[in-house]
Amino acid sequence: MQDDPNTSEQEAPPLDAEDWQIPFDPYEGNPGAALRLSAHLMILKSYLAVNPVKIQTAIEGLDNALAVLFPYTDIHEFSFELFVKVINGTLTVDEELLLKSLGLEP
């Protein structure tokens, strides 16, 4: 019996070179930063290529990268503004409902 495609576990599509173009565009004209990022990516790759695989170490490295990258996002500003509103007690009803829907208690 074949697996039902609606219930089988779906994998994320592979990351093609084109998928990396947009996030790496800011490195054009900044070869030092591009080289440093390349070195970090090679280290992560080595964690996944060695035997035994260092998956937890790779995950921790990616978590660190995301923690550094997050403040550069628009979401960071939004979440900081929500934080300030929670502290000041100035959340709107919609913002309070949003936080509750995310499992957060303001």
For 4-18, the pLDDT digits (tens) are 454 445 677 888 888
Same domain, 35 and 66: yes
Is residue 96 included in any domain, yes or no?
yes
Predicted confidence (pLDDT) per residue in 73-98, tens digit: 877 878 888 888 888 999 999 989 98
Residues 77 and 104 in one domain: yes
Domain that holds residue 82: 73-106
Distance, in Å, from the CA atom of 34 to the CA atom of 29, rounded to the nearest integer, reads: 9
State percent of the chain over pLDDT 90. 49
Is the domain of 91 the same as that of 105? yes
